[in-house]
Amino acid sequence: MKIQVHGDNIAVTSALQDYVDKKIGRLTRYFEGEADKDIHVTMAVEGAFHRVEMTVYVHGVIFRAEEQSQDMYASIDLVTDKLEQQVQRYKEKINRRFRDRGLRTRIKQSAMNGAFHREDNDAEFVPQLVRVKRFPIKPMDVEEAMMQMDLLGHDFYVFTNAETDEVNVVYRRKNGDYGLIEPQN
């Protein structure tokens, strides 16, 4: 497992590093036995706010969370809580798939080895794919894709980047800015 901690506009002290390691230890119990683990933590100070972004890569699955507060330690607590909820939801979904296929509810090893078990059999809503859209993807630059997304009133837009000739996704972030997703080679 590799843990990388970076600071933007802040020096990562040994106390912060130790606190992050302690909190990540709480998450790694879900990934016992997985050799393919990377965790990236970025801490930043923006005005009066302390922002923490944490991305966990485990066996091809990516978990990401971002939180901010007026205290760096509180932000670390919030982001690890959020990631733990994501991991639990993912494991519930994996267990639900096994259950739907007629396998035992209690799964000791799923796509990610871990300690999460679910033993109840209550009927829960299972989201299903209900619609498939097909549309031509024309080459355009990022600015045109952002404009198209705004015109359609969507939160994301898939397009072929005219500069790279690769499929990209432009999306609206929570704060109103835009993000771009590019394939990694």
CATH number at residue 65: 3.30.160.100
Instruction: Provide the pLDDT for residue 101.
Output: 64
Residues 9 and 88 in one domain: yes
Instruction: Provide the pLDDT for residue 27.
Output: 79
Residues 164 and 95 in one domain: no
Straight-line distance from the first to the last Cα atom of the chain, in angstroms, rounded to the nearest whole number: 22
Q: Which residue has the higher pLDDT, 133 or 70?
A: 70
Residue 115, in any domain of the structure: no
Instruction: Provide the pLDDT for residue 170.
Output: 95
Q: Which residue has the higher pLDDT, 105 or 156?
A: 156
Residue 109, in any domain of the structure: no
Residue 120, in any domain of the structure: no
User: Beta partners for 178?
Assistant: 172
Residue 94 in this model has a pLDDT that exceeds 80: no
The SS3 of residue 67 is: strand
The model's confidence at residue 89, banded by pLDDT at 50, 70 and 90, is confident
Residue 80, in any domain of the structure: yes
Residues 18 and 76 in one domain: yes
The model's confidence at residue 156, banded by pLDDT at 50, 70 and 90, is very high
User: Beta partners for 52?
Assistant: 43, 67
Q: Using N-to-C axis directions, what is the helix angle for 72-100 and 14-28, rounded to 10°? A: 10
CA–CA dist 145, 110 (Å, integer): 38
Question: What average pLDDT does range 103-120 have in this prediction?
Answer: 44
Residue 129, in any domain of the structure: no
**CB burial class (10 A; 0-12, 13-18, 19+) of residue 79?**
buried
CA–CA dist 141, 147 (Å, integer): 10
What's the domain count of the chain? Answer: 2
Q: Pick the last residue of a domain from 46, 78, 100.
A: 100
**The domain that contains 146 carries what CATH number?**
3.30.505.50
Residues 24 and 91 in one domain: yes
CA–CA dist 106, 120 (Å, integer): 9
Q: Pick the last residue of a domain from 77, 100, 123.
A: 100
**CB burial class (10 A; 0-12, 13-18, 19+) of residue 77?**
middle
Residue 110, in any domain of the structure: no
Residue 126, in any domain of the structure: no
pTM to 2 decimal places? 0.58
Residue 136 in this model has a pLDDT that exceeds 70: yes
The SS3 of residue 181 is: strand
CA–CA dist 134, 19 (Å, integer): 47
Q: Are 27 and 81 in contact (CB under 8 A)?
A: no
Residues 11 and 78 in one domain: yes
The model's confidence at residue 38, banded by pLDDT at 50, 70 and 90, is confident
Residue 122, in any domain of the structure: no
Residues 36 and 84 in one domain: yes
Q: What residue numbers bound the domain in which 145 lies?
A: 139-181
Alpha-helical regions (H) of 68-134 = 72-100
